[in-house]
Amino acid sequence: MIELNMNAVIGQLLKHYGQEEEVTEVKKYGSGHIHKTFLVDIPSQQYILQSFNRKVFPFPDRIAGNLQQVKTHLHGKNLEFNLPLPMRTTAGKLFTDHENVFYRLFPFVEGKCIDKVENPKQAYLAAQAFGGFIKACAGITTDGLEEVIEGFHDLSLRYRQFEMALKNTQIELSGEVLDMVEFYKKQVLLVRKYKHYVETLPLRVTHNDTKINNVIFSDDFSKINAVIDLDTVMAGYVFYDFGDLVRTVACTEEEGSVEWDKIDIDLDKYAALLQGFVEAMDSELSAEEKESLPFGGEMMACIMGLRFLTDYLNGNIYYPISYQDHNLHRSKNQALLLQALQTKRKSISLLLEKVQ
Ligand code: GN1
Ligand code: MG
């Protein structure tokens, strides 16, 4: 979309939703990697408009089907936050298109979307929201849900994809690249643990992208107004959702940071995550699931590191990059985070013991 006529084009898109007012302002919103998200102002209100990445999500009907089941199940339940779903056009469709790009419109939820939590209270609230989401969805039969991205959090599959990329890559395997390759090769131990958990724990409806920027805090940070980015809601394990919280909340540096010496795990925020998640899931969380939570942190740092490194080896075809080694550096960031989690295993298991 060319900048100059952007407002006019968006105005045309909004007409499909019965909205005739002129568009007064369009701003980029949030920091997601996959879709492009904009905050759109018209005189009477604000909307979120998103250009939808069909390459990453080739089965949009599956997303809609899963979310319909969640919506039906949650109807009448008293969830403390919003789950903003795509709006329907006057013709009943979930997408509009312009120049072969698909767009979706969402109601705008007021509040703050952040990439880094400032204190344990914010960590607690985010974990409570994601734990609360899983609990509220308990009872939905996961057999009826579809995989929106096949093998999305399957660590064995991601490891095999990494091995394949390694075999076919055009990149020279030396220096920092080789260090990363060697590091992730050793994580085959985590793959074994993953297989064990998958064989023993129940599948549930999980969010599967519990990055901190997928919640909207109230302006005063006293509560969560909404859980967003619901595209990957499908069957999963509790440790996926807890794990991505650890990865993006209990870290001292964001995923894009190259300040290697500063990458560590903040145990106060980790403890707050455990508290919020376990409290929200309450009796719905089994002892075995609770025991799997620390594994989730390691597994999600590992799977993201593997995915970034695989993408680097494949020539950066999945994640948008701002410079050539961006994905390599993201994989290094996740490797250091994983290392920190592994070094702090003992302290983390003590934190888990304390949580009721
Ligand atoms: C992607 O689009 P975004 O930023 O919410 C990715 C997640 C990763 C995340 C890493 C569909 O999420 O799996 O954890 O980047 N989503 C997809 O920052 O691949
Ligand atoms: Mg997102």
Q: Please state the rounded mean pLDDT for residues 311-335.
A: 98
User: Quick one: 295 and 349 in the same domain?
Assistant: yes
Q: Has residue 232 got a pLDDT over 90?
A: yes
Write down which residue in 83, 107, 131 finishes a domain. Answer: 107
Q: Please state the rounded mean pLDDT for residues 282-311.
A: 98
Q: Has residue 302 got a pLDDT over 70?
A: yes
Domain count, the chain: 2
Burial zone of 323 (CB within 10 Å; 0-12 exposed, 13-18 middle, 19+ buried): exposed
Using a 6 Å cutoff on CB, does residue 56 contact ligand 1? yes
Tell which residue, 144, 93, 297, has the closest CA to residue 210. 297
φ/ψ of 2, rounded to 5, equals -80, 135
User: Quick one: 96 and 127 in the same domain?
Assistant: no
Residue 166 vs residues 151, 161, 318, 332: alpha-carbon distances, Å? 19, 9, 16, 16
Give the pLDDT score at 250: 98
The more confident residue out of 1 and 313 is 313
Contacts of 282 (CB under 8 A, 6+ apart): 135
User: Quick one: 195 and 317 in the same domain?
Assistant: yes
Give the pLDDT score at 25: 95
Using a 6 Å cutoff on CB, does residue 86 contact ligand 1? no
Write down which residue in 107, 141, 173 finishes a domain. Answer: 107
- CB–CB of 98/9 below 8 Å? yes
Q: Please state the rounded mean pLDDT for residues 119-128.
A: 98
Structure-token pair, residue 244: 């991505």
- CB–CB of 285/130 below 8 Å? no
User: Quick one: 311 and 206 in the same domain?
Assistant: yes
Give the pLDDT score at 6: 86
Using a 6 Å cutoff on CB, does residue 34 contact ligand 1? yes
Q: Please state the rounded mean pLDDT for residues 250-256.
A: 97
User: Quick one: 97 and 223 in the same domain?
Assistant: no
- For residue 115, the Cα-to-chain-centroid distance in whole angstroms is 12
User: Quick one: 322 and 218 in the same domain?
Assistant: yes
Give the pLDDT score at 110: 96
Distance 253 CA to ligand 1 centre (A): 17
Contacts of 189 (CB under 8 A, 6+ apart): none
Q: Please state the rounded mean pLDDT for residues 189-202.
A: 97
Give the pLDDT score at 5: 82
Contacts of 192 (CB under 8 A, 6+ apart): none
Give the pLDDT score at 356: 80
Q: Please state the rounded mean pLDDT for residues 186-215.
A: 97
> How many alpha carbons lie under 13 Å from residue 40 in its C-beta half-sphere?
27
Q: What is the pLDDT of residues 55-105, one digit of tens each?
A: 999 999 999 999 999 999 999 998 999 999 999 999 999 999 999 999 999
Q: Please state the rounded mean pLDDT for residues 246-256.
A: 97
Structural domain includes residue 251: yes
CA separation for the pair 202, 197 (Å, rounded): 9
Q: Please state the rounded mean pLDDT for residues 239-262.
A: 98
Using a 6 Å cutoff on CB, does residue 207 contact ligand 1? no
Structural domain includes residue 243: yes
The CATH number linked to 16 is 3.30.200.20
Q: Which atom of ligand 1 is nearest to the CA of 35?
A: 2
Structural domain includes residue 330: yes
Structural domain includes residue 314: yes
Give the pLDDT score at 279: 98
Give the pLDDT score at 1: 53
Give the pLDDT score at 137: 98
Write down which residue in 63, 86, 107 finishes a domain. Answer: 107
- % of residues, the chain, pLDDT over 90: 97
User: Quick one: 88 and 189 in the same domain?
Assistant: no
Q: Please state the rounded mean pLDDT for residues 12-28.
A: 96
Structural domain includes residue 335: yes
User: Quick one: 168 and 58 in the same domain?
Assistant: no
Q: Has residue 10 got a pLDDT over 90?
A: yes
Q: What is the ipTM of this complex?
A: 0.97
User: Quick one: 197 and 324 in the same domain?
Assistant: yes
Q: What is the pLDDT of residues 329-354, one digit of tens each?
A: 999 999 999 999 999 999 999 999 99
Pocket test for ligand 1, best of 29, 66, 211 (most atoms within 8 A of CB): 211
What is the 3-class SS of the chain, one letter each residue? Answer: CCHHHHHHHHHHHHHCCCCCCCCCEEEECCCCCCCEEEEEEECCEEEEEEEECCCCCCCHHHHHHHHHHHHHHHCCCCCCCECCCCCCCCCCCCCEEECCEEEEEEECCCCECCCCCCCHHHHHHHHHHHHHHHHHHCCCCHHHCCCCCCCCCCHHHHHHHHHHHHHHCCCCCCHHHHHHHHHHHHCHHHHHHHHHHHHHCCCEEECCCCCHHHEEECCCCCCEEEECCCCCCEEECHHHHHHHHHHHHCECCCCCCCCHHHCCECHHHHHHHHHHHHHHHHHHCCHHHHHHHHHHHHHHHHHHHHHHHHHHHCCCCCCCCCCCCHHHHHHHHHHHHHHHHHHCHHHHHHHHHHCC
Nearest CA residue ID for atom 15, ligand 1: 33
Report the chain's mean pLDDT, rounded to a whole number. Answer: 96
Structural domain includes residue 347: yes
- % of residues, the chain, pLDDT over 70: 99
Give the pLDDT score at 4: 53
User: Quick one: 125 and 101 in the same domain?
Assistant: no
User: Quick one: 324 and 280 in the same domain?
Assistant: yes
Structural domain includes residue 112: no
Q: What is the pLDDT of residues 146-184, one digit of tens each?
A: 999 999 999 999 999 999 999 999 999 999 999 999 999
User: Quick one: 220 and 84 in the same domain?
Assistant: no
Structural domain includes residue 178: yes
The CATH number linked to 166 is 3.90.1200.10
Ligand number nearest CA of 33 is 1
Q: Give the residue numbers spanning the domain of 160.
A: 120-354
Q: Which atom of ligand 1 is nearest to the CA of 255?
A: 18
